[in-house]
A = this chain, B = another copy of it.
Amino acid sequence: MSESITIEDMLRKMSAGGLRVTEQRKSLAQMFVLADGYLTPKDVYEWMRTKYPGVSFDTVYRNLRILSEMGVLEQFYFLEGGLKFKANCQHHHHHHLICTQCEKTFSIHFCPMEHLEGGPEGFEVNGHRFEIYGTCKECREKPAVEDI
């Protein structure tokens, strides 16, 4: 599991950032805490609709974007290009194992930059990206049911 953030943490951050804590945003926070992994705007929309049949896609987008800009959520483009969001874990620097089946993420405290060798000459590093893709224990045990 990632170092989990609580719903209260998220709401507190929103409020601290000058946002209003609406019902929808509470649901949104709840959803991301429960999911503990990456969600697409569509996922979020579908889920929100079960609680608030009237939600609109643009509100979902707006909130995802705003919350990302505030650092409550984290935006991420997958290898194939799909945009996804997850609750931001801003503890110390770390990387993730990403289960490509359920898209949950698992923190890993190994950072390749500490082991780098055969590196750049004259190249000024100012960022990196390291992710491991695979299948998590849980998904390996119960083979994909919802695979459609």
Q: For the complex, give the distance between the alpha carbons of A132 and B116 in Å.
A: 11
Interface size on A, residues (CB 8 A): 39
Whether A134 is near chain B, meaning CB under 8 Å from some CB there, is yes
List B contacts of A129 (CB < 8 A).
79, 129-131, 133
List B contacts of A132 (CB < 8 A).
113, 120, 123, 125, 127-128
**CB-CB nearest in chain B for A135:** B124
**CB-CB nearest in chain B for A80:** B77
Q: For the complex, give the distance between the alpha carbons of A120 and B106 in Å.
A: 8
Q: Are B119 and A108 in contact (CB under 8 A)?
A: yes
Whether A17 is near chain B, meaning CB under 8 Å from some CB there, is no
Whether A91 is near chain B, meaning CB under 8 Å from some CB there, is no
What 1/0 flags go to A40-53 for Cβ under 8 Å of B? 00000000000000
Chain A residues close to B by CB (< 8 Å): 77-81, 83, 97, 99-100, 106, 108-110, 112-113, 115-137, 140
13 contacts between A and B (CB under 8 A): A77-B77, A77-B79, A81-B83, A108-B119, A108-B120, A113-B132, A115-B115, A121-B137, A124-B140, A128-B131, A128-B133, A129-B131, A130-B131
